[in-house]
Structure 1
């Protein structure tokens, strides 16, 4: 069946206010035919998320972020008025003042969201969760931290364990095993309603372990977008479209979308449609600074329709809190000079100032360097590590233990995975919605041409296959 309307939507007529960055999709009906929105599905196939208010259906939409919406007596969404608009009005403040304000705001939000609850903290080797760890340790919250690593991949848990030990947190380590997805596919479909491809939410692998833990999740999603430059230095507004396309369209995504577009006989062509949609959305953002405008675009359209979708997996175990999603954090970001946000300056300074020991632990994106030494992560300083790491990966590959870097490798590679993948792709429920020749083309390209390029098309076709079986009611 199609995604249900939330209970609040049945109080008619009514007004619904959405947060600046919603944690949930709120589905509403519109007065339109009950037909598949095949153009929207093509865009979903290219990017891995639905754009704007799109869904699988023409008569079902998702309320936009930062708006007040009217639902009429017949249950139709009739009006949407922004109560918040992303803007860029930087104040004339020093970096020290910006850091002090961030410190107070971040710790206040963290304290208010969690109150006296036990905390479950996912720890990565990056900065967002490390920033949370600083605040939680300072606030003396009872924390159980955890990390997970791919079996045969980089030990992200190694960094997480060091952070937890430094902060005095309890710590659990999980390993994401090969093929974990197959017995959980239909459960995941019921959780995220097939609004995200299935190879990204690796937390699904340890959902049952999550349920054994106690507390509220404190999740670091979207910190890396808010607290970094939105666009490369020197970007002009005319370049934003191509930058967005490069960021949101996955490898092989255009090829799959074009194939579906042609098979379904849609008018014009997919790439023109994609560009027109993005230009129209960009034009609604009244910001001149290209970096701030790109950050706003991501926060309006990427965060709610991709990042937020799989928050539901965490919620299937325990309540969630997201300090970077807080409305006050978004409003704060709009007033901070871009030069202070660029290159993670505020988060780095906060960690160094409040917990120097955490700053000395390896920063995964710049390993083996830390927050004091990461600027040395350039040639020739990083050559010894890069060469040693490459040799280690090649040695593992030679002895039949390939180095796992991406989640799809755990799902699609190997005989057992391949058998289950073929079962889902070529089962009868997907036809004639998508033809077997089209499926065979992308499957064969994955197997014989370029597994990296065609992993995303396979993941999207798998998602559509599960959706068609479990949620389609057309």
Structure 2
């Protein structure tokens, strides 16, 4: 059988046996939160690579041959920005029209640009849309701008509050859905997994627009060694390196973990080989390795309820990006100008990342223009005495009941104790509890994920 993997696939496809644990790959996973390249938990099992065509055996379990059909490149075609925006409009709206047809669309909204751009396209195409957003219980009202966007588009809107401790009665279901390929505090959408089917027939998701339609913030002539360093800093999470180094030593793996990870990143960058643009090369790296193995893992939560569409993942969008000069990708210009052209009223709504400015004023988000807002914000937070929930893990790990559930998975799972010693687990849990909860939150979340994996591996889930 022939399997052609998209340039940015919606989900990972695995082939091979679940046999021998790949400890090196697991160390990368705990450091970064995703498996690198085609790694999995097992040496014999691999994820099929993006932009590759495979010939598999009749059962689809063994690779007979493979070949790449697309390689990321940078061949900018110089033309005015307004022409590029019109090209984007035609392409983006064509993709969405093909993907959703006349189905009722479920649209997650935020205060950023990606979902706002989708809202403009869906409104222009005349689709039936139900929009929604959610905020932390006890946190900032992240639904504020989403409501405004929905109102301008006349989309019915559902706002939800993510409750404290929502994860625990859904964690085993989540482990089945994402197969433990992502830490469990990130997929907030799991809190409402039983509600989505009431909203429509198909999801239209805005993932990866912020990567494709922006520069990477580096000089285009940045050397490979520096690119490797930049990517390593971006992918390694707080506390992740400490956990990875500790496990590397406890599993008696050869060499040094940091050198191992750096060399792998460097090799992957060399294989991309876009010497004329470091920005294009880093974007390609993210799209090849970050999107399919981190971003896409929890799209499976949406897909467990309704089919998903992701317009920014479309092969034609990837090819379009390769033709756009970096100077027009920088600063999200294309999406901003598209919104101004297609729906000026949406462009007038505050851009959350540049509060209090909108898409006509965001370039004023610098001193001294933003000083009054900064002063106002500082006073407001000083007067607001109640602690505000700002991070996903605070809803899961903080508080008596949360700690009880967390301790159960860390210390009462015998399968997990066979993978990581109880002394190491206790040591890291104590650091989270008594030393620096923010720094050690990712580390603790990865331990929780490995605990669920260990139980799943033993067919107990």
TM-score by length of 1: 0.93
Deviation per CA, 1:131-186, whole angstroms, max 9, x where unpaired? Answer: 00110111111110011111122211110000000011110001111111111100
Aligned-pair CA distance for 1:393: 3.2
Aligned-pair CA distance for 1:234: 5.5
Aligned-pair CA distance for 1:86: 0.5
- After TM superposition, list the pairs within 5 Å mapping 1:281-300 onto structure 2: 281-288=268-275, 289-300=277-288
Q: 2:131 aligns with which of 139, 145, 148?
A: 145
- After TM superposition, list the pairs within 5 Å mapping 1:18-167 onto structure 2: 18-29=5-16, 34-72=19-57, 75-167=61-153
Distance verdict in 2 for CA 1:78–1:281, change over 3 Å: farther
Q: 1:335 aligns with which of 323, 327, 334?
A: 323
Partners in 2 of 1:472 and 1:194 — Cα distance? 13
Q: Counterpart in 2 of 1:254?
A: 241
Partners in 1 of 2:26 and 2:78 — Cα distance? 45
Q: Counterpart in 1 of 2:305?
A: 317
Q: 2:398 aligns with which of 413, 425, 432?
A: 413
Partners in 2 of 1:384 and 1:251 — Cα distance? 33
Asked if 1:242 is matched to 2:229, the reply is yes
**Residue 431 of structure 1 aligns to a residue in which SS?**
helix
Partners in 1 of 2:402 and 2:382 — Cα distance? 23
Aligned-pair CA distance for 1:473: 5.8
Q: Counterpart in 1 of 2:423?
A: 437
Aligned-pair CA distance for 1:472: 4.0
Contact 1:126–1:365 (Cα < 8 Å) also in 2: yes
Distance verdict in 2 for CA 1:452–1:235, change over 3 Å: farther
Partners in 2 of 1:169 and 1:312 — Cα distance? 25
Deviation per CA, 1:209-268, whole angstroms, max 9, x where unpaired? Answer: 112222211100000000000343466033211110111110111000001101111111
Aligned-pair CA distance for 1:343: 0.6
Where in structure 1 are there 5+ consecutive unaligned residues?
Answer: 1-13
Aligned-pair CA distance for 1:412: 0.9
Where in structure 2 are there 5+ consecutive unaligned residues?
Answer: none
Contact 1:411–1:417 (Cα < 8 Å) also in 2: yes
Distance verdict in 2 for CA 1:73–1:103, change over 3 Å: closer
Aligned-pair CA distance for 1:422: 1.1
Q: CA RMSD in A?
A: 1.6
TM-score by length of 2: 0.96
Contact 1:53–1:61 (Cα < 8 Å) also in 2: yes
Q: Counterpart in 1 of 2:257?
A: 270
